[in-house]
Structure 1
Amino acid sequence: MIWASMPHKRVDGAFYKRDNGLASITMLVDPDIGLPYGKLPRLISAWLTREAKLTGSRELKLGRSFNEFVEKLGLSTSGGLRGDTSRLKMQATKLFSTTISLKAHQGQDFSYKNVALSDEGILRWGQKNSGGGSLWESTITLSEAFYRECMDYAVPFDLRVLHCLRSPLAIDLYLWLTWRMFILRRPALIPWDALRFQFGVGYATTPQGRAHFRAEFNRCLHDVHVLYPAARLSSERDGLRLLPSPPHVRALP
């Protein structure tokens, strides 16, 4: 998901594909449910990864009410069509129903990995007792493949930063940057074309489209850098230059 991100905006249909030049990611979902998009499924995915790492369990507890799950994510419990609760319920349903396929470009070889985020779940978001919550807790069981990804390859990040960033592109940049700085051992220059392949969904492959992407990328990068000032980087004519930097979240002793 860091290498090739989810849609930024609503995508019609049940199929979505991104290619960053090194690998492609395909998302499939029930057409009646639709594909996840925007900030909220990114926040949910990050929370799932963090919760699996903290608890060491495939079965995650979402709470005895939907508002409790909203509060776990650090969101507002306001209702209405534009409120966090209404949009979160819709995006959670989309995300939990999605299957992801990753294919690596390795010459004549064919390398792939299919991952569903969850094997099963019980979301008791419509049942309430006299106290306002459900008698039973809502749970989701991560698939073994996704759980192993969380445990073995999770990127150290600060969930509070994701709340501060409004743009899905900025969230993608932050998570990608924390990963790059976590493993970076020598300076690296990432060309603008490579960055556009990875992050530039929806931007035209024209000089104007490239200029628009670069401007939006730099705007979001500024927002990320304000929250992660220790990252040593510079936006240059040929691309983004990264220098070895302290990770945003330091490793445990």
Structure 2
Amino acid sequence: MGDHTLTRDDSGNPGEIEQTEQAVGYISRWFVQALFPYRKTDELVRQIQSGRDRVTVMSANGLPYGKYPRLIMAAIITTAVQRAGQVELGLMTPEEARRIPLGRSLDGFLATIGIASRGTGGARGNRTLIREQMRRLTSSIITVQKIYETRDQGATAPVAKRWDLWFDPAHPEQETITESYIELTEEFWEQINRAPIPIDLDILKALGRPRAMDLYVWISLKKYWLNKRPEKTFTFAWGDLTDQFSPKELKTTDDRMNFRKELRKALSDVAKLWPDVGVEATADGLLVHEGQPSVKIRTARQLEQ
């Protein structure tokens, strides 16, 4: 992965990326929608229904929420995809590959996911929150279903088989003797490596706001999808987008107007970091134009070079 220079203003708005080499990462299709809540909740279960598709996430320690689990999952999935390549080359066993290393210090892990650890105050709060999100993530179970009138298909995948986290907020820079890790379940490993979505990790980190992060991942997938279709554009209706990105049922006209306003703001944030994103908010929904994803599609000839 390459280096970028990221900036973000004090309000959390995305800044600019000075690109030297693209930081390519990966995310799973399961995380294309707003699977994790945007704000803290006491709920242990979240379910998203879109047409015949239903995705459910459960966590005994409470649902992961906000931007941090999105950054953590992107880091974990990226490492998992890279280690799957090592398995194919015979350099690592599947059991070894599923054990995802997280480093020997909390500050080191924070740097990996793009979180500054300078200072005390707010930084200490970030460290405590990261530990809490790790607890919530490691105990999460994801179920994906396709529901028909006469048939029900699905798969359930706990994220982690086991984990060992030695991160100490009181001594975040202190390195431990043994490395923290998450060992992914075979089911989760299989799902995330089946069809990983390439993303620009630095765009994801710079966005900062969870709705904008989800929208960026969703657009990335739709760009790949549209490039395989005869149409040059496709409009995704507001009703379908509500299923994907609204954390609650929109019961009133004001609810629907506010949702569209928030999604337009998220699209504006994405466009600042991805100027040729090629997506417009219209009266009907989001109009996606054919074009390259933020991680450009490579031809077979390019892959051989």
The question of a shared fold, defined as TM-score above 0.5 by the shorter chain, is answered with yes
Render the CA deviation track for 1:195-243: whole Å, top value 9, x for unaligned. Answer: 1111111363211100000011001011112212222222111111112
Whether the aligned pair in 1 keeps the contact of 2:34 and 2:246 (CA below 8 Å) is no
Partner residue in 2 for 1:45: 73
Q: Which residue of 2 aligns with 1:67?
A: 107
Shift of 1:153: 1.3
Task: Indicate yes or no: 2:280 matched with 1:229.
Answer: no
The answer to whether the 8 A contact 1:4-1:199 is kept is: yes
Letter in 1 for 2:39: K
Q: Which SS does the other structure have where 2:198 is aligned?
A: coil
**1:247 counterpart SS class:** coil
C-alpha deviation, 1:128, in angstroms: 11
The aligned amino acid for 1:236 is T
How far did residue 88 of structure 1 move? 0.8
Deviation at residue 127 of structure 1 after TM alignment: 11
Q: Does 1:27 align with 2:63?
A: no
Letter in 2 for 1:77: S
The residue that corresponds to 1:157 in the other structure is 199
Seq. identity, % = 28
Check the 8 A contact 1:4/1:198 in 2, yes or no: yes
Instruction: Give the whole-Å Cα distance in 1 for the aligned partners of 2:114 and 2:169.
Output: 22
For 1:142, give the aligned amino acid.
L
Pairing 1:7–2:69 present:
no
Residues 17-57 of structure 1: per-residue CA shift (max 9 Å, x gap): 22223312212221xx2111111001111111111112222
Partner of 1:243: 289
Distance 1:11 1:127 in 2: 23
Q: Which residue of 2 is the match for residue 220 of structure 1?
A: 266
1:69-218 matches, cutoff 5 A? 69-78=109-118, 79-80=120-121, 83-126=125-168, 132-184=174-226, 185=229, 186=231, 187-202=233-248, 204-218=250-264
For 1:216 and 1:127, the matched residues in 2 are separated by 34
SS in 2 for 1:83: helix
Deviation at residue 3 of structure 1 after TM alignment? 3.7
Cα displacement string for residues 117-144 of structure 1 (whole angstroms, at most 9, x for unaligned residues) = 1111111224999x93111111111111
Q: Does the C-alpha gap of structure 1 residues 215 and 203 become closer, same or farther in structure 2, counting only changes over 3 Å? A: farther
- The structure-2 alpha-carbon separation of the partners of 1:228 and 1:128, relative to structure 1 and needing over 3 Å to count, comes to closer
Match of 2:13 in 1: none
The residue type equivalent to 1:48 in the other structure is I
Query: What is the letter of the counterpart of residue 140 of structure 1?
Result: I
TM-score, normalised to structure 1, is 0.91
Residues 64 and 170 of structure 1: is their aligned pair in 2 closer, same or farther, counting only changes over 3 Å? same
Task: Please tell me whether the aligned partners of residues 279 and 286 of structure 2 are also in contact (alpha carbons under 8 angstroms).
Answer: yes
Retained in 1: the 8 A contact 2:199–2:295? yes
How far apart, in 1, do the equivalents of 2:104 and 2:183 lie?
16
Cα distance, 1:12 vs structure 2: 1.4
1:139-180 C-alpha deviation (Å, 9 max, x unpaired):
111111221222221111011112211221100000011111
Structure 2 runs not aligned, ≥5 long: 1-30, 85-96
Summarize the Cα distance change of 1:4–1:71 in structure 2 as closer, same or farther, 3 Å threshold. closer
Q: Structure 2 vs 1, CA of residues 230 and 107 (structure 1 numbering), >3 Å: closer, same or farther?
A: farther
For residues 147 and 274 of structure 2, the distance between their equivalents in structure 1, rounded to whole angstroms, comes to: 32
Q: Structure 1 residues 126 and 226, CA, compared in 2 at 3 Å: closer, same or farther?
A: closer
Q: Distance in 1 between matches of 2:256 and 2:169?
A: 49
* Map of 2:17 onto structure 1: none
Quick one: which amino acid aligns to residue 51 of structure 2?
G
Size of the aligned set, in residue pairs, is: 250
**Structure 2 length-normalised TM:** 0.76
**Counterpart Cα distance in 2 of 1:4 and 1:107:** 26
Question: What is the alpha-carbon root mean square deviation over aligned residues?
Answer: 2.1
Q: 1:54 matched to which residue of 2? A: 82
